[in-house]
């Protein structure tokens, strides 16, 4: 997402822009996630009590209370400490997992790792995932990436793929050559599992296939339907620039979250399929579990809540869990696994 010689103020400005713009409605690719086309099958006489429903789950042996996670958002800038601290405390309190934002800055500025010391003091048991963009993964040594994982005491590492964003970002790094080879090496040598993710444009059959033999443990489709990085980066450039113009051309670029997930399922991949991108309710999450997601993530709605207050963030997370449980009860499913196995969904 940026050049090695980028100044601190340029980095700060970009991160502040991202947070501010992500809250604007026109940045959201609303109505394009595919979720609106899916309906769960109502069960009028579920053979269970609401309080029997259980959401408990695990990540490669690490127990959590719900199969939901806070998607990667922020790291390494002035507001990041407060925000990530809120996210991590809430994740620990509710038993969610959490991805931190790109740890790129830590590669050149070891001081940036101080953020994790503070966060680990407040949330020692939170299940956290590291994050780095593919362009930085390609140019970094496995040892340096391992340091990022260790600094955070991360349970896994997200590697994000964001070709559209890198093209439209004035300071972008659209150099992705040899990505598959580097991912394969990293999966072999890193001490924790690797999860590949997009950032809102989804993942298609060809990429799923090319990731088959890399050894990655999960792929989060992060599809079209929510925060759109083409739109967002376009807003950061002056109207007359090629970037702003191209951002309009590519305003609806991407594979929807539902489309991506179903392509992943049809590809019979050897890794877990996770879903995020435009997930805005517990019912949305339930639909994604029903069509095959192992875990479901939320970014923008939780950012909005966290910027308000820690209490609001906890309230929103609890609401999402409650809605997921209602969807389970009203389909007669005691667990997410049952919902998945019973194929309780239809096209609208």
Ligand X SMILES: Cc1cc2nc3c(=O)[nH]c(=O)nc-3n(C[C@H](O)[C@H](O)[C@H](O)COP(=O)(O)O)c2cc1C
Residue 223 token pair: 């599809």
Nearer to ligand X, 224 or 262 (CB): 224
Indicate the DSSP class of residue 129. Answer: E
Provide, rounded to whole angstroms, the least separation between the CB of residue 44 and ligand X: 32
Provide, rounded to whole angstroms, the least separation between the CB of residue 42 and ligand X: 26
What is the DSSP secondary-structure string of 274-310? EE-SS--SHHHHHHHHHTT-SEEEE-HHHHHHHHH-H
Provide, rounded to whole angstroms, the least separation between the CB of residue 140 and ligand X: 15
Nearer to ligand X, 197 or 340 (CB): 197
Nearer to ligand X, 293 or 344 (CB): 293
Q: How many Å apart are CA 94 and CA 60, to the nearest integer? A: 19
Provide, rounded to whole angstroms, the least separation between the CB of residue 46 and ligand X: 29
The residues pairing with 212 across neighbouring beta strands, listed in sequence order, are none
Nearer to ligand X, 103 or 267 (CB): 103
CB atoms within 10 A of CB 252: 11
Provide, rounded to whole angstroms, the least separation between the CB of residue 123 and ligand X: 19
Q: How many Å apart are CA 190 and CA 89, to the nearest integer? A: 26
By C-alpha distance, which of 14, 58, 335 is closest to 171? 14
Q: How many Å apart are CA 284 and CA 21, to the nearest integer? A: 23
SS3 257: helix
Which residues in this chain contact ligand X in the complex, by CB under 6 A?
18-19, 22, 71-74, 101-102, 131, 158, 160, 197, 199-200, 222, 226-227, 276-279, 298-300, 303
Nearer to ligand X, 304 or 315 (CB): 304
Residue 149 token pair: 């994982």
Provide, rounded to whole angstroms, the least separation between the CB of residue 159 and ligand X: 8
Q: How many Å apart are CA 99 and CA 299, to the nearest integer? A: 10
Nearer to ligand X, 260 or 333 (CB): 260
Task: Select the residue whose beta carbon is closest to ligand X and give its number.
Answer: 226
Q: How many Å apart are CA 84 and CA 48, to the nearest integer? A: 38
Provide, rounded to whole angstroms, the least separation between the CB of residue 76 and ligand X: 9
Provide, rounded to whole angstroms, the least separation between the CB of residue 232 and ligand X: 8
Nearer to ligand X, 72 or 267 (CB): 72
Provide, rounded to whole angstroms, the least separation between the CB of residue 225 and ligand X: 7
Backbone φ and ψ of 264, nearest 5°: -65, -40
Residue 211 token pair: 């990731």
Please, what's the b/e burial string for 45-83 (b: 16 or more CB within 10 A of its CB; e: otherwise)? ebeeeeeebebebebeeeebebbbbbbbbbbbbeebbeb
Nearer to ligand X, 231 or 325 (CB): 231
What helix, strand, coil percent values describe the chain, rounded to 5? Answer: 50, 15, 40
Nearer to ligand X, 230 or 332 (CB): 230
């Amino acid at each position: 997402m940026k050049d090695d010689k980028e100044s601190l103020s340029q980095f700060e400005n970009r991160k502040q822009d991202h947070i501010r713009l992500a809250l604007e409605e026109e940045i959201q690719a609303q109505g394009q996630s595919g979720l609106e086309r899916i309906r769960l099958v109502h069960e009028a006489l579920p053979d269970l009590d609401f309080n029997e429903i259980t959401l408990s789950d695990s990540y490669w042996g690490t127990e959590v209370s719900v199969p939901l996670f806070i998607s990667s958002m922020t790291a390494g800038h002035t507001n990041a400490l407060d925000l990530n601290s809120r996210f991590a405390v809430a994740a620990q309190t509710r038993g969610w997992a959490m991805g931190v934002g790109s740890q790129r800055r830590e590669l050149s500025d070891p001081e940036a790792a101080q953020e994790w010391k503070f966060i680990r003091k407040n949330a020692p048991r939170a299940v956290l995932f590291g994050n780095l963009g593919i362009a930085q993964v390609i140019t970094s040594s496995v040892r340096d990436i391992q340091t990022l994982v260790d600094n955070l005491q991360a349970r896994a590492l997200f590697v994000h793929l964001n070709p559209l964003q890198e093209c439209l970002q004035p300071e972008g790094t659209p150099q992705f050559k040899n990505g598959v080879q580097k991912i394969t090496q990293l999966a072999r040598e890193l001490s924790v599992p690797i999860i590949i993710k997009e950032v809102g444009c989804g993942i298609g059959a060809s990429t799923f296939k090319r990731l088959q033999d890399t050894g990655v443990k999960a792929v989060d489709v992060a599809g079209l339907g929510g925060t759109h990085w083409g739109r967002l980066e376009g807003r950061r450039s002056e109207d007359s620039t090629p970037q702003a113009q191209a951002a309009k051309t590519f305003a609806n670029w991407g594979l929807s979250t539902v489309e991506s997930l179903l392509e992943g399922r049809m590809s019979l991949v050897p890794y877990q399929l996770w879903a995020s991108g435009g997930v805005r309710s517990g019912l949305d999450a339930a639909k994604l579990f029903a069509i095959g997601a192992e875990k479901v993530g939320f970014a923008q709605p939780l950012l909005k809540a966290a910027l308000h207050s820690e209490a609001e963030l906890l309230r929103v997370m609890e609401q999402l869990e409650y809605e997921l449980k209602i969807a389970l009860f009203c389909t007669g499913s005691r667990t997410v696994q049952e919902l998945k196995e019973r194929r309780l969904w239809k096209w609208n």
